[in-house]
């Protein structure tokens, strides 16, 4: 009987070892399945993240709305810069016109001052004539009037010349700018 019990124990041990071996194979198979499922889940999660990132830039995506808002803000800022640039150009143009007028008047004043400083006095002009000439008050008055008329005429000619020179220099500058 002891022999039968030993055989029974050996048989049970073999059966247990066989079951343990087949259980290990089942456990290994289950572990492989779990690993495959985990891999599939990781791939699906990565795919989902990529799709969320792509969807953010599509028509209904949240990131697209932010980008559109930023672009619109930049466009408004560019338009404001264009308007400011146009206003500055107008201000510069007005300043240049004003400066041109001021410089023309300054040149006229300087030309007149130069002309006045070089203009001989009436006494200097009367010394040109010999002293033995009959100098009646009427002749002196006519001569004085002639000198005044000639001075006025010369002043007008100098003003015209000054204006013509200014226009000529301005045209030369514009011509150089256009080239």
pLDDT-derived band at 74 (thresholds 50, 70, 90) equals: very high
Residue 156 has pLDDT above 90, yes or no: no
Structure token pair of residue 151:
């001075």
d(CA 147, CA 150): 5
Return the pLDDT at 117: 72
Residue 65 has pLDDT above 90, yes or no: no
Backbone φ and ψ of 57, nearest 5°: -100, 0
d(CA 176, CA 107): 22
pLDDT-derived band at 138 (thresholds 50, 70, 90) equals: confident
Domain boundaries of the chain, sorted by first residue:
1-55, 119-179
Tell which wins on pLDDT, 134 or 64. Answer: 64
Return the pLDDT at 46: 94
pTM: 0.39
Least confident of 68-72, 79-83, 129-133: 129-133
Return the pLDDT at 79: 95
Mean of the per-residue pLDDT values for the chain? 80
pLDDT-derived band at 130 (thresholds 50, 70, 90) equals: low
Residue 121 has pLDDT above 70, yes or no: no
- The most distant pair of C-alpha atoms in the chain lies apart, rounded to whole Å, by 187
């Amino acid at each position: 009987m002891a022999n039968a019990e030993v055989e029974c124990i050996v048989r049970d041990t073999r059966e247990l070892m066989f079951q343990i071996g087949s259980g290990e194979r089942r456990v290994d198979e289950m572990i492989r399945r779990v690993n495959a499922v985990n891999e599939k889940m990781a791939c699906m999660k990565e795919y989902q993240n990529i799709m969320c990132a792509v969807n953010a830039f599509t028509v209904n995506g949240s990131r697209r709305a932010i980008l559109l808002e930023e672009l619109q803000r930049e466009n408004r800022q560019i338009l404001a810069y264009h308007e400011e640039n146009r206003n500055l150009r107008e201000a510069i143009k007005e300043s240049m016109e004003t400066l041109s007028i001021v410089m023309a008047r300054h040149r006229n004043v300087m030309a007149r001052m130069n002309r006045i400083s070089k203009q001989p006095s009436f006494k200097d002009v009367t010394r040109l004539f010999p002293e033995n000439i009959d100098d009646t008050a009427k002749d002196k008055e006519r001569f004085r009037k002639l000198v005044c008329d000639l001075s006025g005429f010369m002043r007008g000619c100098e003003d015209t010349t000054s204006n013509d020179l200014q226009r000529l220099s301005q045209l030369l500058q514009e011509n150089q700018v256009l080239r």
